Amino acid sequence: MKTYIKNIILGIALVTLSGCYYDTVLPIEVEGEISYIQQVQVIFDSKCIGCHNGAEAPNLLTGLSYEDLINGGYITLEAPANSLLYTKINGGSMDGFASSTDKSTILKWIEQGANNN
């Protein structure tokens, strides 16, 4: 009987814990229209330009990043999730530099047409 109760408690604990884990891997929904300058560039400024400052392609410095991304073929408007900018940070070699919110923000910006807004 005691083992039975222990197993129930363990079961509940496991379900609760895996529930929490599942929550953390769910993609974060970013609302509204994304501003390139106010939401995307700030990600580059704080997390990417330590390396992508001209030395490493793409150049992600303010004022240069937009043209570099568009002309460098990093954005695929027809299939936003296949954009190299996104695949690199989402499972690719740059994944560790971007948070879930950063990834969602960048994907949503591309889905909305990758505007220079």
Residue 23 or residue 78: which is nearer to ligand HEC going by CB?
78
Residue 11 or residue 27: which is nearer to ligand HEC going by CB?
27
Distance between CA atoms of 111 and 13, rounded to whole angstroms?
39
List residues binding ligand HEC (CB under 6 A).
47-48, 50-52, 56-58, 74, 84-85, 88-89, 93-94, 97-98
Residue 86 C-beta: closest distance to ligand HEC, Å = 8
Residue 43 C-beta: closest distance to ligand HEC, Å = 6
Residue 100 C-beta: closest distance to ligand HEC, Å = 12
Distance between CA atoms of 8 and 81, rounded to whole angstroms?
42
Distance between CA atoms of 31 and 29, rounded to whole angstroms?
6
Which residue type is seen at 79? A
Instruction: Return the DSSP state at 82.
Output: G
Distance between CA atoms of 2 and 39, rounded to whole angstroms?
55
Residue 98 or residue 110: which is nearer to ligand HEC going by CB?
98
